[in-house]
């Protein structure tokens, strides 16, 4: 016994540090036992003291130790508070419980390391913020099964409140805050001090919250970070405007599993009304308001699985099911923040419908909407100066709510790595994105309608929303008479560049689009396959295709569309570009500017029911054009293009109509002096490109 004590005294500090760092707190030696069966204050008289709590203890237990001590709960039942001064190991044996009506069940002024094979249930009912069942400086989960229950509805009360770091190596920590938060924001696990870190490399963390603005894992300061490299994180988000992981700092994931269920919806942030000419407006699905004054847009706060300043994910598995109104998956919302995906598996589904529309009316003839704030999406970078990059990983994304979107980048977006080579026959793709939107187009409001009702002299938001100033919500219209939000697979407000990898897009409802940039869309390589109701690819100012494999099938609109106004609206320098639509009067390739298409290289096949804009000698290639081909001549057969440097076969899908005429535009590399020869064939020969029946001979 003396030798054991002497060895501990010599090496206690270094042994404790090494054991905790390695996640092996069971290696620590505590030769001095103090049995506690009643409430009171206890102090370690010797180094290496183990305080053993057992049985029913009515009241508070306070423990003080100058060196790391062990506090063992051995089938103990406490009805007070367990207070620990200094660094300590909380060792669990059997099933123990601490239930109190106090602010906290366990408080620690140092680092609290949890280990052992047993379980602990801790619950408390704080009466003020910055408190909860467990309050500590640093918390290390190295074993044990801990369940925490918050039994209070107090603003910023937490299940676990830390002023330092959180480290999870093993064991299980379950935090239940779902029974409270109806009137106040409650927090599951919160880091309340600057420059703190939550690092999860093993074990299980499960957090459940309910209530407006409530947060499962709260990184309170801009400098706080969360790193997930192993283990499992399970989040249940039920409150309107609630978040799973929230902070202005960085979320980094290199491994592990993140599972999130988001049933919370959108929360409207109240803004103060103005001086009689400015009003806060929330237009519901049953009314449309109008005024010659100015409306202030009411801000919206949707529920998210993850919403941090920046996000970097290179490995692990992310599973999100967001079903609440406007509920969303993962978002990087920092000013100049980045959302970078270089690896990992993503299964993200957002099924929530668009929320009540939020409008800004400048006058009766100029209406602006903020509908994009109020639709669900799977992945999002929300600032105009932010960047969303996807260079690796497998992403399975589904958005099924009205106006729902799979990926939204308010700034620039990049897919793949510059210089990357991708072919359809690759065994794996980096990245591999499958984005499907099943949602319907959502109409927002209408402009220039008759019988607008003036707001008159209304001076409050209540007056403004009263029945005397409302009219029926308008759900139809065209041109300037309607404003709406389309369901989309991928949308970028800034430039969108694709270097490589594979993207597959699908939509089935009116307005459903595939791959859109409001500015310049550049495709340098990769495999792109889209079957959509509306445009497969849409560029706001210019579309440049330098390479890659593109298959675009639009059932009710143009396959490729550019809204640019110059000769570079669409520039095709290489690649295989296949466009098929039988919708009348739509095109395979279209621009708003006649003569705005340059075809300088590649193999291009474009079928449509309308006169296609892509023809003639635009660019260095000659192209073949016909506007009177029988649909049945090519549907289900091979299109054979000869006359260039190579003969090309392309399998034409069965069009949506087997009768009538088609407009065909096609060309291939080498067509510089004469138009190619076109014919239909029942079979193909040559080298298969493993891409929708394309052969080169």
Asked whether the beta carbons of 587 and 639 are under 8 A apart, the reply is no
Give me the count of residues in the chain.
Answer: 697
pLDDT at 281 over 50: no
Please list, in sequence order, all residues whose beta carbon lies within 8 angstroms of the beta carbon of residue 178, skipping any fewer than 6 positions away.
208, 209, 210, 236, 238
pLDDT at 635 over 80: yes
The pLDDT, as a whole number, for residue 385 is 92
pLDDT per residue over 519-540, tens digit each?
999 999 999 999 999 999 999 9
| Residue-wise DSSP of 93-162 | ESEEEEE-SSS-SEEESSEEEEESS-EEEEEE--SSSS--SEEESEEEEEEEEEEEEE----TTEEEEEE
pLDDT at 392 over 70: yes
Asked whether the beta carbons of 243 and 237 are under 8 A apart, the reply is yes
pLDDT band, very low/low/confident/very high, at 687 (cuts 50, 70, 90): very high
Please list, in sequence order, all residues whose beta carbon lies within 8 angstroms of the beta carbon of residue 672, skipping any fewer than 6 positions away.
620, 621, 622
The pLDDT, as a whole number, for residue 634 is 84
Selected residue with higher pLDDT from 356 and 63:
63
**What 8-state DSSP symbol labels residue 510?**
T
pLDDT per residue over 442-481, tens digit each?
754 433 233 232 222 333 334 334 433 333 333 333 433 3
pTM as predicted: 0.88
User: For residues 431 and 343, what is the distance between their CA atoms, to the nearest angstrom?
Assistant: 8
Mean pLDDT over each residue of the chain, to the nearest integer: 82
The pLDDT, as a whole number, for residue 613 is 58
pLDDT per residue over 330-374, tens digit each?
999 999 999 999 999 999 999 998 875 444 333 333 334 333 446
Asked whether the beta carbons of 420 and 499 are under 8 A apart, the reply is yes
The pLDDT, as a whole number, for residue 25 is 75
pLDDT per residue over 406-438, tens digit each?
999 999 999 999 999 999 999 999 999 999 999
pLDDT per residue over 553-602, tens digit each?
998 888 999 988 888 889 999 999 999 986 677 788 888 777 788 889 99
pLDDT per residue over 84-139, tens digit each?
999 999 999 999 999 999 999 999 999 999 999 999 999 999 888 778 999 999 99
Percent of the chain with pLDDT over 70: 80
Please list, in sequence order, all residues whose beta carbon lies within 8 angstroms of the beta carbon of residue 620, skipping any fewer than 6 positions away.
599, 600, 601, 672
Asked whether the beta carbons of 638 and 653 are under 8 A apart, the reply is no
The β-bridge relationship of strands 204-209 and 157-162 is unpaired
User: For residues 612 and 665, what is the distance between their CA atoms, to the nearest angstrom?
Assistant: 7
Question: Phi and psi at residue 404, in whole multiples of 5°?
Answer: -65, 150
The pLDDT, as a whole number, for residue 18 is 52
């Amino acid at each position: 016994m003396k030798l054991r004590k002497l060895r501990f005294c010599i090496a206690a500090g270094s042994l404790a540090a090494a054991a905790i760092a390695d996640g092996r707190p069971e290696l620590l030696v505590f030769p001095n036992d103090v049995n506690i069966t009643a409430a009171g204050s206890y102090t370690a008289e010797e180094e290496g003291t183990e305080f053993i709590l057992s049985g029913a203890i009515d009241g508070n237990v306070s423990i003080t130790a100058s060196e790391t001590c062990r506090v063992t709960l051995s089938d103990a039942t406490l009805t007070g508070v367990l207070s620990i001064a200094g660094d300590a190991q909380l060792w669990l044996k059997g099933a123990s419980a601490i239930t109190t009506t106090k602010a906290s069940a366990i408080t620690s002024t140092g680092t609290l390391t949890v280990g052992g094979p047993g379980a602990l249930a801790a619950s408390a009912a704080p009466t003020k913020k910055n408190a909860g069942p467990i309050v500590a400086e640093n918390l290390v989960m190295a074993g044990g099964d801990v369940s925490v229950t918050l039994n209070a509805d107090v603003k910023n009360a937490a299940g676990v409140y830390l002023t330092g770091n959180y480290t999870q190596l093993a064991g299980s920590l379950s935090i239940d805050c779902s029974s409270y938060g109806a009137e106040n924001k409650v927090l599951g696990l919160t880091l309340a001090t600057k420059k703190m870190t939550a690092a999860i490399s093993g074990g299980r963390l499960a957090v459940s919250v309910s209530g407006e603005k409530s947060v499962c894992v709260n990184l309170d300061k801009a400098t706080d970070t969360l790193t997930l490299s192993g283990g499992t994180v399970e989040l249940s988000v039920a409150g309107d405007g609630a978040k799973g992981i929230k902070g202005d700092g960085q979320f980094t994931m290199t491994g592990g599993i993140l599972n999130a269920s988001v049933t919370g919806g959108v929360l409207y942030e109240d803004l103060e009304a103005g001086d009689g000419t400015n009003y806060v407006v929330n237009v519901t699905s049953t009314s449309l308001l109008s005024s010659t004054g100015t409306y202030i847009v009411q801000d919206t706060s949707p529920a998210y699985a993850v919403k941090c300043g920046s996000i970097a994910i290179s490995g692990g598995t992310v599973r999100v099911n967001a079903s609440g109104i406007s509920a969303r998956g993962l978002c990087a919302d920092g000013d100049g923040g980045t959302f970078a995906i270089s690896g990992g598996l993503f299964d993200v589904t957002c099924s929530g419908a668009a929320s009540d529309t939020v409008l800004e009316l400048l006058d009766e003839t100029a209406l602006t909407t903020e509908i994009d704030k109020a639709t669900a999406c799977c992945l999002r970078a929300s600032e105009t100066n932010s960047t969303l990059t996807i260079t690796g990983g497998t992403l399975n994304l589904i958005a099924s709510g009205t106006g729902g979107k799979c990926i939204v980048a308010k700034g620039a977006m990049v897919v793949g790595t510059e210089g990357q080579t991708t072919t359809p026959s690759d065994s794996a793709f980096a990245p591999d994105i499958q984005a499907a939107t099943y949602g319907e187009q959502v109409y927002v409001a209408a402009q220039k309608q008759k019988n607008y009702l003036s707001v008159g002299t209304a001076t409050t938001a209540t007056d403004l929303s009263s029945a005397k100033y409302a009219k029926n919500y308008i759900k139809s219209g065209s041109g300037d008479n309607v404003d709406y939000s389309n369901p989309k697979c991928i949308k970028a407000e800034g430039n969108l560049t694709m270097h490589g990898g594979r993207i597959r897009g699908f939509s089935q409802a009116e307005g459903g689009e595939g791959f859109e940039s409001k500015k310049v869309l550049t495709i340098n390589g990769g495999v792109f396959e889209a079957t959509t109701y509306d445009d497969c690819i849409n560029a706001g100012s210019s579309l440049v295709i330098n390479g890659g494999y593109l298959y675009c099938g639009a059932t009710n609109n143009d396959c490729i569309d550019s809204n640019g106004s110059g000769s570079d609206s669409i520039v095709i320098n290489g690649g295989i570009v296949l466009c098929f639509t039988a919708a009348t009067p739509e095109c395979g390739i279209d621009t708003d500017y006649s003569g705005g298409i340059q075809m300088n290289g590649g193999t291009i096949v474009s079928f449509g029911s309308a006169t296609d804009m892509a023809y003639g000698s635009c660019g260095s290639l000659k192209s073949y054009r016909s506007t009177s081909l029988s649909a049945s001549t090519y549907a289900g057969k091979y299109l054979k293009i000869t006359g260039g440097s190579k003969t090309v076969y392309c399998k034409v899908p069965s069009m949506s109509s087997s009768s009538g005429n088609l407009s065909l535009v096609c060309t291939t590399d080498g067509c510089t002096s004469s138009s190619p020869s076109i014919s239909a064939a029942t079979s193909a020969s040559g080298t298969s490109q493993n891409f929708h029946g394309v052969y080169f001979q």
